[in-house]
Amino acid sequence: MGNLAGKVALVTGGTSGIGRAAVARLSTDGARVIFTGSNATAAAEIGAATGATFFRGQVQDPADWARFDALVRTDFGRLDIAFANAGMERGDSSVEHIAVDAWNEILAVNLTGVMLTAQAAVRLMRDNPDGPAGSIIINSSMNAHKALGNFVAYSTSKAAVLALSKSTAIHCAGDGLKIRCNAILPGVVRTEMIQGIIDRSPTARGRWRPMRACRRCGAWRSSKRSRRL
């Protein structure tokens, strides 16, 4: 559609699933896109297909965000959109059985990584050439409200980023910045991560309904008529 021409966008976790689709859509709409991830092979394919720039870094590492800040200021000159999408669930379990190392790793990516994404975005958006403005979108989950008993760290992290998004929005408004921060709460989307969960839990088949787009309004929703996985 070209409505994002002249804009620069960041997508974390952009080498698979929702992130990969976001990179493609933002690029199609005219934005110059920077995306992060850990799969260099997938990143090369995405970059070749979309023209997006791959930044290899870990969202939970402040040093990588310092490198990202330098890249944007030197090569792009602005940041208009930040989609904090990177997340994981590896090693998750119930509150009774989860290991502390797994808990810490999941929260490092899903919560600290999102905080560092928002922090870097606000700092860059403050210095946009035409004034402080931009949009930060945090990818939470329906599990923020419908917690899963066997995914305690994932559910907790997705609830926590709702408060993070509100705090970020209030901070920006209080400073008079035209920087929005919103969270989205997708339902079940058949990404590589969700498929992996289903493959490891055969009893979950049929209980996970994928999101589907309404033909009339385009909204994404879980359909009772969707095919069982």
What string of DSSP letters covers 38-54? S-HHHHHHHHHHH-PEE
What is the band of 187 on the pLDDT scale with cuts at 50, 70, 90? confident
CA gap 22, 217 in Å, rounded: 19
* Predicted confidence band of residue 188 (pLDDT cuts 50, 70, 90): confident
Please list the active-site residues. 154
Domains of the chain: 8-186 (3.40.50.720)
Q: Where is 34: in which H helix or E strand? A: strand 32-37
Residues 125-133, mean pLDDT to the nearest whole number: 98
Q: Is pLDDT above 60 for 208?
A: no
| pLDDT tops 60 at residue 229 | no
* Residue 140, pLDDT above cutoff 60: yes
> Measuring CA to CA, how many Å separate 106 from each of 68, 96, 154, 158?
22, 16, 7, 11
Give me the pLDDT at residue 228, please.
Answer: 32
Per residue in 20-76, pLDDT tens?
A: 999 999 999 999 999 999 899 999 999 999 999 999 999 999 999 999 999 999 999
Q: Residue 77 is encoded by which pair of tokens?
A: 């000159």
The answer to which of 121-125, 138-142, 164-168, 196-200 has the lowest mean pLDDT is 196-200
